[in-house]
Structure 1
Amino acid sequence: MTGNAHDWPHEPVSVGLVGAGPWARMVHARVLAAGPETRLTSVWARRPEAARETAAPYGAAVAGTFEELLDTCEAVAFSVPPDVQAELALRAAKAGKALLLEKPLALDLPAARELVDAIDSAGVVSQLVLSNRYHPETRRFLAKARELDVSGARSCMVGGAFLGGDFATPWRLEHGALLDIGPHILDLLDAALGPVLRVRATGDPRRWVELTCEHEGGAVSQASLSGSVEVERGITRIELFGRHPELVFDGSALDHEESWPVLRREFATAVRTGRSGELDAHRGLRLQTLMAQALDEGR
C-alpha cells in the first residue's frame, strides 16, 4: 500500500485521526500512514489506551483532547459513530480543517445539513469514504452503465455484521442497514442509472429492508439490504436490464486494497488544490436526503 514518493510532488498532507475502533485501525490509520500523499500525525479517541494502540505502529502522537488534535494537522479523518462525527466535524470545519468523512454524515438529515452548511461557510475540502467508489472495477462498471439505456435494476447488499463481532456496534444495531449500508447502494444506483427522484422503503432496517427507487429518465431500481442474515460472505450485487445484454456488478469479489491508494491520492489532491471531488460532503447530504425520504415514505 505504500506509494513512490517521487510520484507525489507535494508535501504530505498531515492528517489527524478521530477514533480508534476496528475500522480506524484496519483502514484509516493504516492507509493514511502509508503515504506518500498523507502523513498520520496524531490520534484522538474517547479511550486513550485505544488511541495509543492505534497510533503506536505508525509513530503518530496521541492527542489529549480534540482541540489538541486540531493543532497537529491540516486535515481530519473521522472513524466514529455518525452523531459524533456530525458534531466534531462541524468544529473541525470551523477550525479550517479539510475533512475525510465516513458515511452516513450524521444520524439525521438536519444534522447532516448543518455540517454541510459549516463546510461551505468555511470553504474547506471534504471527501467521503465510500469504499466501493474508489475501486477501478466499480469505476469501469459505472462508465459502462452510463452508456446504456437502462429500464430497471435489482440489487442487494446483505451480510451478517450485525449478528456479532467488531461491527455490531450500538448505532448500527439501533438504526440498521439503511443508515449503515444504504449509502453504498444508493450511491451506486444513483450514479449508474441517473439521479434518484423518489425512494420508498418497506420492511425493518434492523432485519431486512427493501428499497424501490424511481430515477430521472424513467428507470426503476430495487435494493435489498440487511446486516442481520447468516451468509458465508457479504453479498454486493447490482444487475442492470434494458435493451442490451445484462450488465452485472459483483462487489463481493472486490479487493479493497485496490481502493485505498486511490482514496488517499484523491483526498490529498483535493486538499492540495483546494477543490473537493465528486464524492464530497454534498454527495453525503444527497444520500442522507434519500435515506430520510425512504424512512418518511415507509411510515
Structure 2
Amino acid sequence: MSTAPPSDIWPYEPVRVGLVGAGPWARAMHARMLAAGPETALSAVWARRPEAAAEVAGPYGAPVAASFEELLDRCEAVAFAVPPAVQAALAPRVAAAGRALLLEKPLGADLDAANAVAEAVAHHGVISQLVLTKRYHPATRAFLAEAATREVTGARSCYLHGAFLGGEFATSWRLEHGALLDLGPHLLDLLDSAVAPIVSVRATGDPRRWTELTCEHENGAVSQASLSGAVRLPRARTRVELFGPGEELVYDTADIDHEECWPVLRREFATAVRTGKGTGIDAAHGLHLQKLLDQAART
C-alpha cells in the first residue's frame, strides 16, 4: 500500500538525491526520474569516470561530484545505478552517513555482500527502498490485490528478453551472472507477493542461457519461473499465471507503460524519507530475495 500523501500537491521540500553511476540505466531512468520532481531534486552525480557523470548530470543542470564523499555532502539520499558489487561496497558507507538509499536489485553480487548492506541499513536506522520496477505500476498493484483474495495452489511465470545478446544493457556483470541475479529478483518478488512467501527454491539450467526455478510456498503452493535474457523476442515478456479452485488470474506486462512506474516510485521514496516510514520494499526485503537467489544458485 502506498504511503504517499493522497493529494497531488507535494507538501514537503524536495528530497535532495545524489546519483551514483553513469551507465545506461542511470541515463535512461534514474537521472530523469529524480530530476523531474517535485518530490525529489537531482543534487549531484558521481561516477568513476567524471566525463560520464557529466553526460548524465548535464541535461538536468546537476553538478558532478568530484568524489563519493562530496556526493554525500551534497545530498540527503543516494540512488544507485551501478553493478551489484559496487553498490554493496558503497551502500554501507551511505547508511553510516545517515543518508537514505534507493537501491537496485540484487543488493549485492552474493549473499554475504547483500547481508552487509541490509545490516548497515538496519544498524543505522535509515530509509531504504528497492527499484523493483514493476511493483510501482498500478496494474501490478491491482493484480496483487486481486491475488490476495484468491486461493492459489500453483503458478507459472516467466521473464524473458534478449538484452544479453547485445547492446548497452549486455553489461559485464549481467553476462557473468546471467538472468538469475538480474531478472530473478523481479519474478521471485512477484511470486512471493502473489502466491505466498517462498520457503524454498530449486534451479535447473544455465543462468546465462535459460534457468527454470521451482518454488515452494508457505501455503503449500508450488510455482515455476522461467528466466532468460538471451532469447530473441520482439519485446520483453513478463507473465504470471495463478491457478486454484477458482478462475485463473493472469498478470502480463505486454500492454503496460513502464513510464507509469517512475512517478509512483519517486513519490513513495520521497514520502518515506520525509516521514521516516518505509514501504516494505526495502533492503530487508532485498535480503530475503537474495537468500532465495543464493539457494537457487546452490542447486
If the length of structure 1 is used for normalisation, what is the TM-score?
Answer: 0.97
In 2, Cα distance between equivalents of 1:93 and 1:254: 34
The CA distance in 1 between the partners of 2:116 and 2:52, in whole Å, is 30
Q: Distance in 1 between matches of 2:24 and 2:234?
A: 21
Matched, 1:275 2:273: no
Where does 1:103-182 land on structure 2 (aligned, <5 Å)?
103-182=105-184
Aligned-partner Cα distance in 1 for 2:78–2:277: 16
Does residue 240 (structure 1) correspond to residue 231 (structure 2)? The answer is no
Secondary structure of the corresponding residue to residue 41 of structure 1: strand
Deviation of 1:9 after TM superposition, in Å, equals 0.7
Residue 217 of structure 1 corresponds to 219
Superposed CA offset, 1:79-126 (max 9, x none): 000000001111111111100000000000111111111111111000
Query: AA paired with 1:52?
Result: A
The amino acid of 2:183's aligned partner reads I
Counterpart selection for 2:95 from 93, 104, 111: 93
Give the Cα separation in 1 of the matches to 2:205 and 2:152.
26
Match of 1:198 in 2: 200
Name the structure 2 match of 1:257: 259
Q: Deviations over 1:187-244 (max 9, x none)?
A: 0000000100110000000000000000011110000000001111111001111111
CA RMSD of aligned residues (A): 0.9
Which amino acid counterpart does residue 203 of structure 1 have in structure 2?
G
Counterpart CA distance in 1 for 2:166 and 2:71 is 32
- The structural deviation recorded for 1:14 is 0.2
Aligned to 1:58: 60
**Letter in structure 1 aligned against 2:63:** A
How many Å apart are 1:252 and its aligned residue?
2.8
User: Secondary structure of the equivalent of 1:259?
Assistant: helix
- In structure 2, the CA distance between the partners of 1:12 and 1:250, relative to structure 1 (3 Å rule), is same
The CA deviation at 1:253 is: 2.3
Q: In 2, distance between residues paired with 1:133 and 1:277?
A: 11
Flag structure 1 segments of 5+ consecutive residues without an equivalent: none
Q: Deviation of residue 46 (structure 1)?
A: 1.0
AA aligned opposite 1:33: A
Whole-Å Cα distance in 2 between the matches of residues 132 and 241 of structure 1? 21
Runs of 5+ unmatched residues, structure 2: 1-6
**CA distance, structure 1, for counterparts of residue 242 and residue 230 of structure 2:** 26
1:295 aligns with 2:284: no
Deviations 1:148-177 (A, max 9, x none): 001101010011010000110000000000
Report how many residues are paired.
293
SS of residue in 2 equivalent to 1:71:
helix
Query: How many Å apart are 1:251 and its aligned residue?
Result: 1.6
Letter in 1 for 2:268: E
Q: Percent identity?
A: 68
Q: CA deviation at 1:6?
A: 6.9
2:17 is matched with which residue?
A: 15
For the pair 1:80 / 2:120, whether they are aligned, the reply is no
Secondary structure at the residue paired with 1:213?
strand
Matching residue's letter, 1:86: A
2:191 aligned with 1:185, yes or no? Answer: no
- The DSSP-based 3-state class of the residue aligned with 1:62 is coil
- Match for residue 286 of structure 1? 288
